[in-house]
Amino acid sequence: MLAQTLSFCLRLLRLWGLLSLVKFGTAVDIPANVRDFYDAVRARGHCTNELANGFYSSDGGPNSISPPQPHSHSRASLLTTPAFAYCGNYLGSGMIYIQGRNGALANMDVDCDGVQGGPADDGRCRQALSPDYQNTTAFQSILASYNRNITDLNPYVHSYVVFGNTRSTHPSGWSTFDPTSQGMRPLSLMAVVCPDYRLVYGVWGDTNGDDGSKPMVGEASLSLATVCGGSSVNGNSGIDEDAVLYIGFTGEEAVPGPDGADWAATSPGAFQDSLRSLGDRLVQRVHYVRTGRDGPSSMGRQLETVDAVRMMMAVIIVAGILLWIRMIAMVAQSM
């Protein structure tokens, strides 16, 4: 009976996973090379080939920095200089990513720009939660030329990344970066590694403007942020930890085009699934050059253990509930 119950529990968990995929989308299994790259970039600490710098990950400060070491600058002085940059350490392999200092990557604010009131709209991007909402994304005209019966990206459905920084009203000195100057193409595929090592595929769908007080980095659509942070994220609440890795891929090969993605999808899972084949090919580019400071961190081993414990606990809990229900049914039948 126990074996039958456990088998039923596993089927129930698989069904739960499929339902979550349809509603919220899901991450894909992270390849070892991508996990190792994530660990190595964080272990290296900072970018040595900055394509553009002077960016912030949060309004409260330029970086999540460690306490100052003896004889170093004070923490206050460290917080006066923006620490985030677009990194070209692996530009020769066709990759651009965002990195801060002392192992920081970037956080994930939620972008709600694009179509509202469309498929999968559950209100988490409503105006009250996203006062800086704009009804268009940066590459709307290109998407319209695909003729896929959609007017723009939908933050509830399309997993897109806000990448690159523009300036229109601020005076000179405002940091900017145009990814196309380094070979990226609009609506090209991007890979995002969440803080817990989940890998999500999306597209480069919008850019950071100069409507705030600082040039910011680290932002993605609601659908992508939901995969990393769960259904509690919304237009006013994302992922604060500077531990999200955003990887952009250069070249025409990275562009799914009108036929390489399900642009007319009505659920996050359907859109993300349509990017899987291209994403799996592009992440084969991901590699790192090992140095004395690079290498997998203990964080990876700890998270693997945590994932295994969580799965075991889920199976035990569901099995206990089902056994309890079966015992009640048996008692009821004997009465």
Which range, of 7-21, 79-93, 117-131, averages the lowest pLDDT? 7-21
* Integer Cα distance of 277 and 257 in angstroms: 14
Summarised one tens digit per residue, pLDDT across range 193-232 is: 999 999 999 999 999 999 888 999 999 999 999 999 999 9
Which range, of 7-16, 112-121, 129-138, 140-149, averages the lowest pLDDT? 7-16
Which range, of 72-86, 211-225, 312-326, averages the lowest pLDDT? 72-86
Q: Which residues contact 48 (CB under 8 A, 6 or more apart)?
A: 89
Ranges of each domain in the chain: 28-296
* Integer Cα distance of 203 and 224 in angstroms: 10
Q: Shortest CA distance to 206 belongs to which of 223, 215, 216, 219?
A: 219
* Integer Cα distance of 261 and 257 in angstroms: 7
Longest Cα separation, the chain: 83
